[in-house]
């Protein structure tokens, strides 16, 4: 009965593998080689990622307004062309302005392939087990990031970073095609299906009333999720600098790439575990568990005494991605309902994504001017504590945020 639902989850896994796994989670292996080859500061190289993510998050605010049942496949096709095309152009860029321009163009494509559209589709197809479905989809970004960062680093070392970008462009095309070619609709009702676990007897009138609830952006629930989005996305920007951090400690580029790969691997594991925990103990306690593991992981990374310590730390720090993905989705749906999801989530995602975009070059510049990544890592530890406090306050103030199931 629900075979099509899980096939759509698989299709969305591929799409998330492109917009997050490839375009964000593997880009860190290019910072050092591009900087060394062109003489551009690492912070400036990272600016192309900031340009991409800034454009993506600005456009994502408008995705719910102009994407509909009739044009979403065309939007996905345009996203594929722009994202892959800009990536091929990155392989031919040797100046800062070229990198930034290609990054902005790629950002437009990623907006059309990105999280807002993906979660809008999942939100329509899953009335229950949304946390589990999103854990698989977001976990796919970690899987692609883990494998991709390792393979792209090998390509960069053997054939140069230009070839690495060309390989990335081909991977974007291959992984985007299932979402375009597979027959499905945004709303399950339009293809004769119902949402997974949909409540029986829910009428259109009830749905309409729910969708007309007044949006309160100043509410404690909204502000709490908003702050968590910003803080968690700052934290998730740091693993892209793990390769550079390892080299700054005297380890080889291969060790640095492994740190990013291990982090992406536990990005996957963390999201799958997070999705299961969310069903059993709710979003708040799931978030607290993942924050504790992330804090311990960053502490080991800061210690950095051996490659083993760094690898273990990078693995545990992979749990931080649960906060910026699954937690934001389930907390938003739990507080504002399925019908209002598209009104709230783009704003929450914009805040986090834009902050992540700013954090990427900021960490690079911090290293350029201080010669160390550790100040940024200490800031992350502070933000983890802040998020934990917010979740504890949420729980004490009624447990107003529950698990979305």
* Structural domains in the chain plus CATH codes: 3-396 (1.20.1250.20)
Q: State the Cα torsion 259-261-263-269 to the nearest 10°.
A: -150
Which of the residues in the chain have pLDDT under 70?
Answer: 1, 199-218, 338, 398-405
SS3 196: strand
Q: 232 is written with which tokens?
A: 């968690």
- 369: part of which helix (H) or strand (E)? helix 328-370
Extract the tokens encoding 243. 């390769």
- Residue 164 CA from chain centroid, whole number: 22
Residue 346 phi/psi, 5° resolution? -55, -35
- Report how far residue 104's alpha carbon sits from residue 44's, in angstroms, rounded to the nearest whole number: 14
Residues 6+ apart with CB under 8 A from 246: 252, 253, 255, 256, 259, 307, 310
Q: Report pLDDT for 193.
A: 83
**The predicted structure's pLDDT at residue 320:** 92
* The pLDDT value given to residue 204: 42
- Which segments of 238-327 does DSSP mark as H helices, in order? 242-248, 253-303, 307-316, 321-322
Q: Which ranges in 238-252 belong to alpha helices (H)?
A: 242-248
pLDDT score recorded for residue 215: 54
Residue 322 phi/psi, 5° resolution?
-60, -40
Rg of the chain on CA atoms, in Å: 20
Pairwise CA distance, residues 105 & 111, whole Å: 10
Determine contact, residues 255/310, Cβ cutoff 8 Å.
yes
What burial letters (b/e) apply to 167-189, b meaning 16+ CB within 10 Å?
bbbebbbebbeebbeeebbbebe
Residue 132 parent element (H or E):
helix 130-159
DSSP single-letter state for residue 247? H
> What pLDDT is attached to residue 1?
58
pLDDT value at residue 337: 73
- Residue 284 pLDDT: 82
Question: Looking at residue 162, what is its pLDDT?
Answer: 92
CA 233 – CA 245 distance, rounded (Å): 19
Longest CA span, the chain = 64
The closest of 266, 246, 265 to 256, measured between CA atoms, is 246
Reading the block at residue 341, the tokens are 């999801």
Q: DSSP class of residue 319?
A: G
């Amino acid at each position: 009965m629900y075979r099509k639902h899980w096939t759509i989850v698989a299709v969305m896994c591929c799409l998330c593998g492109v917009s997050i796994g490839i375009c964000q989670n593997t880009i860190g292996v290019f910072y050092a080689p591009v900087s060394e080859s062109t003489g551009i500061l690492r912070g400036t190289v990272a600016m192309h990622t900031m340009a991409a993510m800034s454009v993506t998050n600005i456009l994502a605010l408008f995705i719910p307004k102009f994407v509909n049942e009739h044009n979403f496949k065309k939007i996905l096709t345009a996203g594929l062309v722009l994202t892959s095309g800009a990536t091929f152009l990155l392989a031919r860029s040797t100046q800062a302005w070229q990198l930034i321009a290609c990054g902005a163009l790629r950002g437009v494509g990623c907006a059309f392939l990105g999280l807002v559209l993906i979660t809008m589709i999942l939100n329509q197809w899953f009335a229950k087990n949304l946390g589990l479905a999103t854990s698989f989809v977001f976990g796919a970004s970690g899987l692609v990031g883990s494998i991709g960062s390792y393979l792209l680093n090998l390509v960069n070392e053997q054939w140069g970073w230009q070839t690495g970008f060309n390989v990335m462009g081909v991977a974007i095309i291959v992984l985007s095609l299932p979402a375009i070619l597979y027959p499905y609709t945004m709303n399950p009702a339009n293809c004769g299906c119902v949402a997974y676990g949909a409540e029986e007897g829910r009428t259109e009138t009830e749905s309409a009333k729910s969708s007309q609830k007044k949006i309160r952006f100043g509410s404690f629930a909204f502000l709490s999720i908003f702050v968590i989005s910003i803080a968690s996305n700052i934290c998730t920007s740091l693993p892209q600098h793990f390769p550079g951090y390892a080299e700054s400690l005297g380890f080889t580029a291969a060790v640095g790439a492994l740190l990013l790969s291990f982090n992406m691997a536990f990005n996957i594991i963390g999201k799958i575990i997070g999705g299961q925990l969310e069903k059993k103990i709710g979003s708040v306690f799931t978030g607290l568990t993942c924050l504790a593991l992330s804090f311990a992981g960053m502490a080991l990374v800061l210690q950095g005494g051996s490659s083993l310590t760094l690898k273990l730390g990078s693995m545990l720090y992979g749990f931080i991605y649960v906060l910026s993905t699954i937690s934001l989705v389930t907390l938003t749906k739990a507080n504002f309902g399925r019908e209002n999801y598209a009104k709230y989530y783009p704003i929450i995602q914009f805040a986090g994504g834009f902050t992540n975009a700013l954090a990427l070059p900021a960490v690079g510049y911090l290293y350029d001017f201080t010669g160390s990544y550790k100040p940024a890592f200490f800031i992350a530890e502070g933000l983890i504590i802040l998020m934990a406090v917010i979740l504890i306050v949420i729980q004490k103030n009624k447990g107003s945020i529950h698990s979305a199931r």
